[in-house]
């Protein structure tokens, strides 16, 4: 019931398939310094995500000066299907691989909210299997590309309710917001609306990322 209530609340905030991307034709002049890869939450509207992705990208543009930024909205259903998070996981890895090949000096900022945090977790090798709208890992960003991931920004991360967090290679580059009482990321949380309030953390997330690039 708790999970249904939270997902219902998220659906009130707004309103695919596995894609393998080939490397686009690009030159150094057309390769932004940073590519912001954002995975929206379940049924979250907006270009990158109304609650998190869009405000975080806007904040990053203000905080990170002297560098050019592009954005990529992860192509996945962001619904309650059993394969949704896995589809997003595969798309993140495909996109990073393609961009890395096309733009050898480009770095990445990964952003994930709610189910999108599961997507990012999986992509950096932290399984979300067993979490709300989670899945087993289907692909991971290659170790050779790990240094090019400048920052990982997570919000309402469902693996937190399992007592898990990002550890290992990406730990020092990760900030993981979990609002007090958010039942999606806090075991025993009962404040459904807390899951919808992460826009207020956009500035802090961007400040963290700016310190990593």
Measured distance CA(68)–CA(32) in Å, rounded: 5
Q: Could you give the residue ranges of the DSSP H alpha helices within the chain?
A: 2-12, 53-63, 84-102, 115-123, 202-210
Look up 195 and say whether it is catalytic: yes
Sorted by sequence, the CB contacts under 8 Å of residue 144 that are 6+ apart come out as none
Residue 114 annotated among the catalytic residues of the structure: yes
Catalytic residue among 54, 121, 182, 201: 182
Distances from the Cα of 189 to the Cα of 155, 160, 161, angstroms: 15, 11, 9
Torsion of CA 79, 183, 169, 88, to 10 degrees: 0
Q: In sequence order, what are the residues at sequence separation of 6 or more whose Cβ sits closer than 8 angstroms to the Cβ of residue 204? A: 175, 177
Question: Which among 54, 71, 176, 195 is annotated as catalytic?
Answer: 195
From 84, 114, 123, 128, active-site residue: 114
Place of tokens 């890395």: 100
Give residues with Cβ within 8 angstroms of 133, minimum separation 6: 42, 80, 84, 85, 114, 115, 118, 158
In DSSP terms, 72 is beta-bridged to 37
Active site residue 182: yes
Q: Which residues are catalytic?
A: 114, 182, 195
């Amino acid at each position: 019931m708790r999970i249904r209530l939270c997902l219902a609340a998220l659906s009130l905030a707004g309103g695919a398939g596995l894609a393998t991307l080939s490397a686009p034709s690009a030159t150094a002049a057309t390769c932004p310094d940073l590519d912001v890869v954002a995975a929206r939450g379940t049924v979250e509207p907006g270009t990158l995500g109304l609650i998190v992705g869009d405000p975080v990208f806007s904040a990053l543009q203000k905080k990170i000066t002297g560098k050019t930024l592009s954005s990529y909205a992860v192509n996945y259903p962001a619904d309650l299907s059993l394969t949704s998070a896995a589809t997003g996981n595969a798309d993140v890895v495909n996109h990073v691989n393609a961009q890395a090949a096309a733009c050898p000096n480009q770095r990445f900022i990964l952003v994930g909210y709610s189910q999108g945090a599961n997507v990012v977790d999986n992509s950096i090798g932290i399984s979300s299997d067993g979490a709300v709208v989670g899945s087993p890992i289907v692909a991971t960003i290659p170790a050779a590309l790990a240094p090019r991931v400048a920052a990982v920004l997570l919000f309402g991360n469902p693996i937190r309710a399992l007592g898990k967090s990002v550890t290992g290679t990406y730990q020092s580059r990760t900030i993981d917001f979990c609002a007090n009482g958010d039942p999606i990321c806090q075991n025993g949380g009962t404040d459904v609306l807390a899951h919808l309030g992460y826009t207020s953390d956009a500035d802090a997330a961007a400040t963290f990322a700016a310190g990593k690039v």
